[in-house]
Amino acid sequence: MILTQEEAGVPGPEGPESGPHSIIQIEHTMATTLEDVGKQVWRGALFLADYILFRRDLFQGCTALELGAGTGLASIVAATVARTVYCTDVGADLLTMCQRNVVLNSHLAAAGGGVVKVKELDWLKADLCTDPAVPFSWSEEDIADLYSHTTVLFAAEVFYDDDLTDALFHTLSRLARRLKNACTAILSVEKRLNFTLRHLDITCEAYDHFRSSLQALERLAEGRLRFVVERVEASFPQLLIYERIRQLELWKIVAEPAP
Ligand SMILES: C[S@@+](CC[C@H](N)C(=O)[O-])C[C@H]1O[C@@H](n2cnc3c(N)ncnc32)[C@H](O)[C@@H]1O
Protein backbone atom coordinates (compact mmCIF):
# COMPACT_ATOMS: atom_id res chain seq x y z
CA MET A 1 0.00 0.00 0.00
CA ILE A 2 1.57 3.29 -1.08
CA LEU A 3 0.89 6.82 0.08
CA THR A 4 1.67 9.32 -2.64
CA GLN A 5 1.77 13.07 -2.74
CA GLU A 6 0.03 13.68 -6.04
CA GLU A 7 2.92 12.07 -7.92
CA ALA A 8 2.84 12.17 -11.69
CA GLY A 9 1.75 8.89 -13.16
CA VAL A 10 -0.22 7.72 -10.15
CA PRO A 11 -3.33 5.91 -11.37
CA GLY A 12 -6.60 7.73 -10.78
CA PRO A 13 -9.69 6.39 -9.05
CA GLU A 14 -10.64 4.44 -12.17
CA GLY A 15 -8.48 1.42 -11.48
CA PRO A 16 -5.68 1.48 -8.94
CA GLU A 17 -6.77 -1.68 -7.23
CA SER A 18 -5.85 -3.62 -10.33
CA GLY A 19 -2.11 -3.28 -9.55
CA PRO A 20 -0.05 -5.23 -7.00
CA HIS A 21 -0.66 -2.48 -4.40
CA SER A 22 -3.63 -0.37 -3.51
CA ILE A 23 -2.77 3.30 -3.75
CA ILE A 24 -4.24 5.90 -1.44
CA GLN A 25 -4.03 9.42 -2.81
CA ILE A 26 -4.05 12.15 -0.18
CA GLU A 27 -4.10 15.88 -0.81
CA HIS A 28 -2.12 17.41 2.02
CA THR A 29 0.41 20.12 2.94
CA MET A 30 4.02 19.35 3.82
CA ALA A 31 4.22 21.89 6.67
CA THR A 32 1.51 23.87 8.44
CA THR A 33 0.94 26.56 11.01
CA LEU A 34 -0.55 25.43 14.34
CA GLU A 35 -3.93 26.66 13.15
CA ASP A 36 -3.81 24.33 10.13
CA VAL A 37 -2.17 21.26 11.74
CA GLY A 38 -4.84 19.00 10.29
CA LYS A 39 -3.77 19.69 6.72
CA GLN A 40 -0.65 17.58 6.96
CA VAL A 41 -0.46 13.83 7.45
CA TRP A 42 1.10 13.08 10.82
CA ARG A 43 3.22 9.98 11.32
CA GLY A 44 0.80 8.76 13.97
CA ALA A 45 -1.97 8.59 11.33
CA LEU A 46 0.14 6.18 9.26
CA PHE A 47 0.96 4.17 12.37
CA LEU A 48 -2.73 4.00 13.31
CA ALA A 49 -3.65 3.03 9.73
CA ASP A 50 -1.19 0.13 9.95
CA TYR A 51 -2.88 -1.03 13.15
CA ILE A 52 -6.32 -0.80 11.50
CA LEU A 53 -5.08 -3.02 8.67
CA PHE A 54 -3.62 -5.43 11.22
CA ARG A 55 -6.81 -5.51 13.34
CA ARG A 56 -9.29 -6.00 10.51
CA ASP A 57 -11.26 -8.23 12.88
CA LEU A 58 -11.98 -5.22 15.14
CA PHE A 59 -13.08 -2.97 12.26
CA GLN A 60 -14.81 -5.55 10.05
CA GLY A 61 -18.36 -4.39 9.22
CA CYS A 62 -18.44 -1.97 12.17
CA THR A 63 -19.50 1.64 12.55
CA ALA A 64 -16.51 3.73 13.65
CA LEU A 65 -15.80 7.36 14.48
CA GLU A 66 -12.52 9.21 14.00
CA LEU A 67 -11.82 12.33 16.07
CA GLY A 68 -9.49 15.03 14.70
CA ALA A 69 -9.17 13.21 11.37
CA GLY A 70 -7.26 15.97 9.52
CA THR A 71 -6.75 14.81 5.91
CA GLY A 72 -8.91 11.73 6.55
CA LEU A 73 -6.20 9.14 5.85
CA ALA A 74 -6.95 6.82 8.81
CA SER A 75 -10.72 6.99 8.14
CA ILE A 76 -10.16 6.13 4.49
CA VAL A 77 -8.13 3.08 5.49
CA ALA A 78 -10.71 2.10 8.14
CA ALA A 79 -13.50 2.27 5.55
CA THR A 80 -11.83 -0.47 3.50
CA VAL A 81 -12.94 -2.80 6.32
CA ALA A 82 -15.66 -0.98 8.30
CA ARG A 83 -19.24 -0.42 7.15
CA THR A 84 -19.51 3.27 8.08
CA VAL A 85 -16.77 5.61 9.26
CA TYR A 86 -17.72 9.01 10.65
CA CYS A 87 -14.62 11.08 9.85
CA THR A 88 -14.73 14.20 12.03
CA ASP A 89 -12.77 17.39 12.60
CA VAL A 90 -13.45 21.15 12.77
CA GLY A 91 -13.37 23.98 10.23
CA ALA A 92 -15.10 24.06 6.84
CA ASP A 93 -11.79 24.53 5.00
CA LEU A 94 -10.13 21.43 6.50
CA LEU A 95 -13.30 19.33 6.24
CA THR A 96 -13.62 20.30 2.56
CA MET A 97 -10.05 19.10 1.93
CA CYS A 98 -10.82 15.93 3.85
CA GLN A 99 -14.00 15.38 1.80
CA ARG A 100 -11.94 15.72 -1.41
CA ASN A 101 -9.63 12.96 -0.14
CA VAL A 102 -12.60 10.77 0.71
CA VAL A 103 -14.00 11.19 -2.82
CA LEU A 104 -10.56 10.59 -4.36
CA ASN A 105 -10.35 7.22 -2.58
CA SER A 106 -14.02 6.24 -2.45
CA HIS A 107 -13.41 3.21 -4.73
CA LEU A 108 -11.28 1.63 -1.97
CA ALA A 109 -14.12 1.77 0.56
CA ALA A 110 -16.81 0.94 -1.99
CA ALA A 111 -14.98 -2.29 -2.93
CA GLY A 112 -15.79 -3.62 0.54
CA GLY A 113 -19.17 -1.87 0.87
CA GLY A 114 -17.79 0.78 3.24
CA VAL A 115 -18.57 4.48 3.34
CA VAL A 116 -16.85 7.51 4.91
CA LYS A 117 -19.06 10.38 6.12
CA VAL A 118 -17.19 13.62 6.79
CA LYS A 119 -18.77 15.53 9.69
CA GLU A 120 -17.97 18.39 12.03
CA LEU A 121 -17.32 17.34 15.62
CA ASP A 122 -15.78 19.97 17.86
CA TRP A 123 -14.41 18.63 21.17
CA LEU A 124 -15.11 22.02 22.71
CA LYS A 125 -18.87 21.69 22.09
CA ALA A 126 -21.15 19.37 24.04
CA ASP A 127 -23.51 18.63 21.15
CA LEU A 128 -23.25 17.65 17.51
CA CYS A 129 -24.24 20.43 15.11
CA THR A 130 -27.53 19.64 13.34
CA ASP A 131 -28.04 22.99 11.63
CA PRO A 132 -28.46 22.08 7.94
CA ALA A 133 -27.07 25.51 6.98
CA VAL A 134 -23.68 24.59 8.52
CA PRO A 135 -21.40 22.59 6.22
CA PHE A 136 -20.73 19.01 7.43
CA SER A 137 -23.46 19.15 10.08
CA TRP A 138 -25.24 15.98 11.23
CA SER A 139 -28.64 14.68 10.17
CA GLU A 140 -30.89 13.11 12.82
CA GLU A 141 -30.48 9.76 10.97
CA ASP A 142 -26.67 9.97 11.17
CA ILE A 143 -26.82 10.75 14.89
CA ALA A 144 -29.17 7.83 15.50
CA ASP A 145 -26.88 5.54 13.48
CA LEU A 146 -23.79 6.83 15.33
CA TYR A 147 -25.20 6.20 18.80
CA SER A 148 -26.88 2.89 17.94
CA HIS A 149 -24.07 1.18 16.03
CA THR A 150 -20.63 2.64 16.81
CA THR A 151 -18.24 0.20 18.44
CA VAL A 152 -14.85 1.75 17.57
CA LEU A 153 -13.49 5.25 18.12
CA PHE A 154 -10.04 6.28 16.93
CA ALA A 155 -7.76 9.32 16.81
CA ALA A 156 -4.20 10.01 15.68
CA GLU A 157 -1.85 12.68 16.98
CA VAL A 158 -4.40 14.83 18.77
CA PHE A 159 -2.44 15.37 21.99
CA TYR A 160 -0.36 18.51 21.51
CA ASP A 161 -2.19 21.09 23.63
CA ASP A 162 -3.30 20.33 27.19
CA ASP A 163 -6.66 22.13 26.94
CA LEU A 164 -7.48 20.28 23.72
CA THR A 165 -6.36 16.99 25.27
CA ASP A 166 -8.79 17.60 28.16
CA ALA A 167 -11.56 18.42 25.68
CA LEU A 168 -10.78 15.31 23.65
CA PHE A 169 -10.94 13.06 26.74
CA HIS A 170 -14.27 14.64 27.78
CA THR A 171 -15.58 14.00 24.28
CA LEU A 172 -14.40 10.38 24.41
CA SER A 173 -16.07 9.63 27.73
CA ARG A 174 -19.25 11.53 26.74
CA LEU A 175 -19.50 9.58 23.49
CA ALA A 176 -18.81 6.25 25.21
CA ARG A 177 -21.67 6.94 27.62
CA ARG A 178 -24.08 7.84 24.81
CA LEU A 179 -23.28 4.79 22.66
CA LYS A 180 -25.65 1.88 22.93
CA ASN A 181 -22.83 -0.69 22.73
CA ALA A 182 -19.51 -1.13 24.51
CA CYS A 183 -16.72 0.44 22.50
CA THR A 184 -12.97 0.39 21.98
CA ALA A 185 -10.96 3.56 21.40
CA ILE A 186 -7.58 3.43 19.66
CA LEU A 187 -5.28 6.42 20.07
CA SER A 188 -1.89 7.03 18.49
CA VAL A 189 0.60 9.52 19.86
CA GLU A 190 4.18 10.50 19.12
CA LYS A 191 6.14 11.24 22.26
CA ARG A 192 7.82 14.53 21.34
CA LEU A 193 10.75 15.69 23.43
CA ASN A 194 11.44 19.41 23.80
CA PHE A 195 14.10 21.41 25.59
CA THR A 196 12.34 23.96 27.81
CA LEU A 197 13.94 27.03 29.36
CA ARG A 198 11.48 26.72 32.24
CA HIS A 199 12.89 23.31 33.23
CA LEU A 200 16.34 23.72 31.65
CA ASP A 201 15.90 20.14 30.59
CA ILE A 202 14.34 17.85 28.00
CA THR A 203 10.63 17.37 28.73
CA CYS A 204 7.60 15.92 26.98
CA GLU A 205 4.83 17.91 28.63
CA ALA A 206 2.05 17.27 26.09
CA TYR A 207 2.77 13.55 26.27
CA ASP A 208 2.87 13.58 30.08
CA HIS A 209 -0.50 15.31 30.14
CA PHE A 210 -1.87 12.67 27.77
CA ARG A 211 -0.63 9.89 30.08
CA SER A 212 -2.18 11.52 33.16
CA SER A 213 -5.47 11.91 31.28
CA LEU A 214 -5.40 8.17 30.53
CA GLN A 215 -4.85 7.44 34.23
CA ALA A 216 -7.65 9.81 35.24
CA LEU A 217 -10.02 8.11 32.79
CA GLU A 218 -9.18 4.72 34.25
CA ARG A 219 -9.83 5.99 37.77
CA LEU A 220 -13.17 7.53 36.81
CA ALA A 221 -15.75 5.71 38.89
CA GLU A 222 -19.01 7.30 37.88
CA GLY A 223 -21.92 6.01 35.84
CA ARG A 224 -22.47 2.66 34.25
CA LEU A 225 -19.11 2.41 32.49
CA ARG A 226 -15.54 1.68 33.37
CA PHE A 227 -12.54 2.37 31.15
CA VAL A 228 -9.72 -0.15 30.82
CA VAL A 229 -6.51 1.26 29.36
CA GLU A 230 -3.76 -0.78 27.74
CA ARG A 231 -0.70 0.08 25.68
CA VAL A 232 -0.51 -1.80 22.37
CA GLU A 233 2.85 -3.32 21.40
CA ALA A 234 4.18 -1.68 18.23
CA SER A 235 5.16 -5.05 16.75
CA PHE A 236 2.32 -5.25 14.20
CA PRO A 237 3.37 -5.28 10.51
CA GLN A 238 4.24 -2.05 8.74
CA LEU A 239 2.43 -1.81 5.38
CA LEU A 240 2.55 1.95 4.85
CA ILE A 241 5.66 3.96 4.08
CA TYR A 242 6.93 6.07 7.01
CA GLU A 243 9.64 5.86 9.63
CA ARG A 244 8.33 3.82 12.55
CA ILE A 245 10.31 5.59 15.25
CA ARG A 246 10.21 4.29 18.80
CA GLN A 247 8.46 7.45 20.03
CA LEU A 248 5.27 6.28 18.27
CA GLU A 249 2.82 4.75 20.71
CA LEU A 250 -0.61 3.22 20.44
CA TRP A 251 -3.09 3.06 23.30
CA LYS A 252 -6.32 1.11 23.54
CA ILE A 253 -9.21 2.05 25.83
CA VAL A 254 -12.07 -0.38 26.32
CA ALA A 255 -15.28 1.17 27.66
CA GLU A 256 -17.35 -1.59 29.18
CA PRO A 257 -20.22 -1.89 31.65
CA ALA A 258 -18.98 -1.42 35.23
CA PRO A 259 -19.31 -4.63 37.29
C1 LIG B 1 -1.91 17.17 14.66
S2 LIG B 1 -3.43 17.13 13.78
C3 LIG B 1 -3.66 15.39 13.46
C4 LIG B 1 -4.45 15.18 12.21
C5 LIG B 1 -4.59 13.70 11.80
N6 LIG B 1 -5.24 12.94 12.84
C7 LIG B 1 -3.23 13.10 11.53
O8 LIG B 1 -2.68 12.42 12.39
O9 LIG B 1 -2.71 13.31 10.42
C10 LIG B 1 -4.66 17.44 15.08
C11 LIG B 1 -6.09 17.49 14.55
O12 LIG B 1 -6.98 17.81 15.64
C13 LIG B 1 -7.98 18.69 15.15
N14 LIG B 1 -8.58 19.49 16.23
C15 LIG B 1 -8.01 20.49 16.95
N16 LIG B 1 -8.89 21.03 17.80
C17 LIG B 1 -10.06 20.36 17.62
C18 LIG B 1 -11.36 20.46 18.21
N19 LIG B 1 -11.64 21.38 19.14
N20 LIG B 1 -12.31 19.61 17.81
C21 LIG B 1 -12.05 18.69 16.85
N22 LIG B 1 -10.85 18.54 16.24
C23 LIG B 1 -9.86 19.37 16.61
C24 LIG B 1 -7.20 19.56 14.18
O25 LIG B 1 -8.06 20.26 13.28
C26 LIG B 1 -6.32 18.53 13.48
O27 LIG B 1 -6.93 17.97 12.37
pLDDT tens for the 259 residues of the chain, in order: 444 444 434 444 444 444 445 789 998 887 777 788 888 999 999 999 999 999 999 999 999 999 999 999 999 999 999 999 999 999 999 999 999 999 999 999 888 889 999 999 999 999 999 999 999 999 999 999 999 999 999 999 999 999 999 999 999 999 999 999 999 999 999 998 777 667 677 779 899 999 999 999 999 877 789 999 999 999 999 999 999 999 999 999 999 998 8
- Is 177 inside any structural domain? yes
Which of 34, 37, 47, 76 for a ligand 1 pocket mutation test, highest count of atoms within 8 Å of Cβ? 37
Domain annotation covers residue 3? no
Q: List C-alpha distances in Å: 171 to 17, 77, 122, 127.
A: 36, 23, 9, 10
Atom of ligand 1 nearest to the CA of 160: 1
Which range marks the domain in which residue 152 is found? 33-257
Residue 10 lies in a domain: no
In a domain, 13, yes or no: no
The answer to whether position 66 is within a domain reads yes
Assigned domain for 21 exists: no
Pairing of strands 201-203, 194-196: antiparallel
User: Is residue 197 situated within a structural domain?
Assistant: yes
| Within-domain flag for 68 | yes
Q: Which of 98, 53, 61, 93 is nearest to 77 (CA)?
A: 53
Pocket test for ligand 1, best of 32, 75, 87, 90 (most atoms within 8 A of CB): 90
Q: What is the CATH number of the domain that holds 57?
A: 3.40.50.150
Our count of domains for the chain comes to 1
